Homo-oligomer: A and B are copies of this chain.
Amino acid sequence: MLGQDDADTCCPGLLAAPLGEEEAAGLAKVFKALGDPVRLRLLSMIASRDGGEICVCDLTPAFDLSQPTISHHLKLLRQAGLIDCERRGTWVYYWLLPEMTDKLAGILTRPGAGATS
């Protein structure tokens, strides 16, 4: 409920009114994190995982890239607020932070298209 209120207050939508400089700077960082095919595929694998989380050991085999490279991409997604992670024993597990994708979907939605306010 709090998240919902915050979203209503903070983000009238990219398409409804000109963005301020600060808001544009914050959003640009998130879109930049999405502006890479490997990061998009990683985010998609994490978000679509049954059970809501995925071991890094199940992510790396899908790519022809080194573990440090994958870790770097995951770090950028995490810094953008799109995912979070936790180490358990040998492996790190990742999950989606849906508040951020909800926020992006919201600001890309045309005014009046499904909005309640």
List A residues at the B interface (Cβ < 8 Å): 14-19, 21, 24-25, 27-29, 31-41, 43-45, 47-48, 62, 96, 98, 101-102, 104-106, 108-110, 114
Question: Is A31 a contact partner of B24 (Cβ separation < 8 A)?
Answer: no
Oligomer: number of copies: 2
Shortest 6 CB-CB contacts between residues of A and residues of B: A32-B35, A31-B34, A105-B108, A24-B37, A15-B47, A19-B44
Partner of A40, one of B14, B17, B36, B98: B14
Residue of B nearest to A29 (CB): B35
State how many angstroms separate the Cβ of A5 from the closest Cβ of chain B: 18
Residue of B nearest to A36 (CB): B28
Q: What B residues does A16 contact at CB under 8 A?
A: 47-48
